[in-house]
Amino acid sequence: MATGRQPQLLADLVSHKYPIAEEVWGNFWDRLGDRELEQGEALAVVCSLTTQTPDGESVAAMLRSLQERNPRPDPPSQPTVNIVGTGGGPSTFNLSTASAFVGASMGARVIKTGSRAYASKTGSVDLLDRLGIKLTTSYEQTEQMLETFGMACAGPFVYPKELRLLARNILPFGMKQMGRFFNLVGPFLGAVPVTKQITGTSDHAVVPMFKDLAAGDPTREYWITWNDMGVDELLSTVPSQVHDTERGEDYTLSPAEIGLSEDRPFDELKPVEDIDSTVPHFMALIGGVGPTAAIESIKLNAAALAVNAGVAKDWADGLRMAGDAMAAGEPARLIESLRAHGAQAAPAPAKASGGA
């Protein structure tokens, strides 16, 4: 039922009038785009969503309302994977980003999405900045990077434009402080041309909702993963639960059963204290130098990418390929190629006219 141009979404959120209809979400996005929101309405909506996550049916309606207003990419012509988590939970080094580079260096086609730091010191986008790797700005450029390098780091264009408008409308507050809800459902917001997405969550309470959201997405298959450590990636130190939409089942992935060391301290997965040491630490890890838990967790997630991209036949094969690629320095060479490509594509700085 149409709601007119009234602030119905805020009223429904505050009163927990669930499920919130797709038309109500659409009304809000339309009024946002037309600059018709009441003063403070955008901030109130964001605060309400962050304070209490709506029910799964309401979140699914929100996603549909955004998809209708934003272009969807063509499906990839070859198996292509993404690994992205929800954030939150205990802080670790940039595990999913490390795994993406290792997986791509093994021959998997990988699109990496992510965000700036929300709960951690350095988000994936912050790390890519420090590495000198530029994000893609279109689907055409993303496909070109995949064809050339086997990997692309997708920019914010894959996310609904309404989120950028919303962020501007809550200034001087920012999404880092207020946008926990959008960070949580971020893995389902991006229109990313992949055949499989590995999405870990630190919050076990959202797993049923995530399963429903994955089931309602016809564009790709999903692995939804979670573990008792509350880390949003697969870990070599504890078993993980995996919900595989392609196989239509849940199962336990036991590191010990595939030859990894479960009895390692969590401290081996922590980020460095000195943020200026982030890049040297990261480069050492993807070269296979570092604590056992960190190295084996990178191999595990890279193997998951390779298995889902069809370049490794099983876990043993994927773990072996990951170790070989890291020992040979292949991930570091991939990073250097991507950095050089970005520097070559960047426009030259304008020359100053006159002066010393």
Q: How much is the pLDDT for 117?
A: 56
Q: How much is the pLDDT for 355?
A: 37
Flag the least confident range among 4-8, 200-204, 300-304: 4-8
Instruction: Write out pLDDT tens, residues 143-162.
Output: 999 999 999 999 999 999 99
Q: How much is the pLDDT for 349?
A: 47
CATH hierarchy code of domain 81-154+192-339: 3.40.1030.10
Using pLDDT thresholds of 50, 70 and 90, give the confidence band for residue 176: confident
Mean pLDDT, residues 61-69: 97
Give the whole-number percent of the chain exceeding pLDDT 90: 85
> Which of residues 179 and 1 earns the better pLDDT score?
179
Cis peptide before 172 (omega within 30 of 0): yes
Non-local (6+) Cβ contacts of 105 within 8 A are 150, 325, 330, 331, 333, 334
Using pLDDT thresholds of 50, 70 and 90, give the confidence band for residue 353: very low
- Residue 310: CB atoms within 10 Å: 15
Instruction: Write out pLDDT tens, residues 10-25.
Output: 999 999 999 999 999 9
Angle, helices 8-15/41-51, rounded to nearest 10 degrees: 30
**Domain boundaries along the sequence of the chain:** 8-68, 81-154+192-339
Task: Please tell me if the domain spanning 8-68 has the same topology as the one spanning 81-154+192-339.
Answer: no
Alpha carbon 129 to chain centroid, angstroms:
16
- Write the burial class of residue 298 (CB in 10 Å: 0-12 exposed, 13-18 middle, 19+ buried): buried
Using pLDDT thresholds of 50, 70 and 90, give the confidence band for residue 347: low
Statement: residue 216 has pLDDT above 60:
yes
Statement: residue 348 has pLDDT above 50:
no
Contact 235, 229 (CB under 8 A): yes
Q: How much is the pLDDT for 2?
A: 42
Contact 201, 232 (CB under 8 A): yes
Instruction: Write out pLDDT tens, residues 308-323.
Output: 999 999 999 999 999 9
- Give the containing element (helix H, strand E) for 323: helix 315-327
Q: How much is the pLDDT for 345?
A: 67
Statement: residue 356 has pLDDT above 50:
no
Give the whole-number percent of the chain exceeding pLDDT 70: 93
Paired residues of 251 in beta bridges: 242
Instruction: Write out pLDDT tens, residues 75-122.
Output: 999 999 999 998 888 999 999 999 999 999 999 999 999 766 555 567
Statement: residue 255 has pLDDT above 80:
yes
How is the beta sheet containing 249-253 ordered, strand by strand? 151-153, 110-112, 81-85, 196-200, 221-227, 240-244, 249-253
Q: Residue 27, SS3?
A: helix
Mean pLDDT, residues 239-260: 97
So what CATH class is 8-68? mainly alpha
Using pLDDT thresholds of 50, 70 and 90, give the confidence band for residue 351: very low
